[in-house]
Amino acid sequence: MEVSFDPNIVTEFERETWGRCAESYANTFAGITQETIPLLIDMAKIKSGTEVLEIGSGPGHVADTLARAGAEVVGIDFSPEMVSIATRAYPEIDFKQADAEDIPFEATTFDAVIANFVVHHLAQPEKVFREITRVLKPGGRFVFAVWGPPQEQSSMGAFFGAVATHHDMADLPHGPLFGITQSSVFEPMFEQAGLSDPQLSIHNMTWRTNSIDPILKGFWDWGKMNALPDETQDNIRQSTITNSKPFKKGSGYEFPHPILFGSASRRVQQR
């Protein structure tokens, strides 16, 4: 896959962003990212004793659910702040600071590798996919979830529509797979990495929240909105609230999100 930007810039942007957002993540974006976990567990065929590596383990809530499902799980994240938070929250789980481009485990170690809302942040996904293949046992499964089509993401739409109205924000760097859902992109990458039987499907998930605060807080931290003038922030905040009104349900909000789920397996016989 051709990358038209400097992956080092993307890596540093992502490292700074998620280090800065580490403390707030559990009370913001985890509201939607935790909804995907049951299906990922099913896709990865997790059972008692399954050896699992989670890449981009963040604050640890996915790894905790995997462990409670019976997996022997290790989590890696390149943000030391995220690793620290996860270790404090779940001291019984092994979390390591590491980059998925250079996974610190021997070949054929894991039955499954799980990436929950991580693949679209990768600066060099082809390199990471090869590393995932290397650490998977023959027949082992790689499963992931990422955002579906950006234009269909309701909470993002409410926020970015507000930003577009009141501020000329430059495009933020992101991984080459952000917003990508086409099998024609993923399948060659899987093939080149030594992964077979690729499967992609869209599932609708809902971000349910009692107030608009987690939406505002999450995107405010992610977008460094506090750097903007107070008046601009106020305008964006009010427009986000207005844009969110169609998703108000009773005393709270329900934001629908189409999520792309993917899976592939390491070939039993590697070429």
For residue 202, is it within any domain? yes
User: The domain spanning residue 130 has which CATH number?
Assistant: 3.40.50.150
**What 3-state class would DSSP assign to 197?**
strand
What mean pLDDT value characterizes the chain? 92
For the cut 60, the answer to whether the pLDDT of residue 113 exceeds it is yes
> Any alpha helices (H) in the chain, and if so which ranges?
7-20, 22-25, 30-33, 37-44, 61-68, 80-89, 125-135, 154-166, 183-193, 213-223, 230-244
| Residue 29 forms part of a structural domain | yes
| Position with higher pLDDT, 124 vs 1 | 124
> In percent, how much of the chain has pLDDT > 90?
80
Phi, psi (rounded to 5 degrees) for 243: -65, -20
> Is residue 240 in some structural domain?
no
**By residue range, what is the domain housing residue 99?**
7-150+173-206+257-266
Quote the pLDDT of residue 174. Answer: 67
For residue range 87-102, list pLDDT tens digits in order. 999 999 999 999 999 9
Whether residue 248 lies inside any domain: the answer is no
Locus of tokens 């903007």: 228
pLDDT at 2: 46
Give the whole-angstrom CA distance, residue 40 versus residue 58: 16
Residue 69 covered by a domain: yes
| CA–CA separation, 34 and 32 (whole Å) | 5
Structurally, how many domains does the chain consist of? 1
Read off the pLDDT of residues 243-258 as tens digits, 9 standing for 90 and up.
999 999 999 999 999 9
Q: Which letter, b or e, does each residue of 42-61 get, where b requires 16 or more Cβ atoms within 10 Å of its Cβ? A: ebbebeeebebbbbbbbbbb
pTM of the model: 0.92
Q: At which residue do the structure tokens 């170690």 appear?
A: 109
For residue 212, being part of any structural domain is answered with no
